[in-house]
Amino acid sequence: MRYIFLLIGILFFSSIGYSQKSGDLAFIKDTLRIPKENKVVDAEYLITALKNGTTLQLAKANNAKFYLRICTSENLYFGKTDMLEIKSGSKSFFAKETTNYELGKNSGYYVIEIYKNYIGTLKEDGITGFMFGKAETSFSKQDCNQIKQMAKHFYENVCAKK
């Protein structure tokens, strides 16, 4: 009887946690709110947390579109719509008319549609920072490598499958 509870406990705790090692990254199936389109879609995604409290999610929605969700506690401009520039080393991805939505009192988020080839860029170059309006947020080399790992795992398991 004790072994049954131990087995159930191990299964439970292993299913709710996630690790930042690429071999341990687990896909989560949940809904994704896309405020710009005023939609909620089913999606599967990977998530990673960075040192400065920012979290990034790469998601594939059931409508076959890819999304990047960035949750941040820096440079908050709730309700402001502007150009979001995501920097990957010397390369940049521009998302026009992006809005910073309020997630909580001290945090906000962006949801942008991205393309499969950009996920390939992320797996090679990661994200070194982003600029919204005139406010810039930079990520450490360790955070950039963590994003690369997540993007590589996502690309190999979602984008590369035919």
Mean pLDDT computed over every residue of the chain = 86
Average pLDDT over residues 151-157: 94
Asked if pLDDT for residue 14 goes beyond 60, the answer is no
**Among candidate residues 20, 23, 13, the one with its CA nearest the CA of residue 157:** 23
| 39 pLDDT more than 70 | yes
Residues 88, 127: contact at Cβ < 8 Å?
yes
Report CA-CA distances (Å) from 16 to 55, 144, 155: 17, 25, 23
Q: Sorting pLDDT into bands at 50, 70 and 90, what band is 3?
A: low
Count H helices, E strands: the chain?
Answer: 3, 10
Domain spans in the chain, listed from the N-terminal domain onward: 26-159
Q: Which CATH number fits domain 26-159: 1.10.1760, 2.60.40, 1.20.1050, 1.20.140?
A: 2.60.40
pLDDT tier at 18, thresholds 50, 70, 90: very low
- Give pLDDT tens digits for 114-134: 999 999 999 999 999 999 988
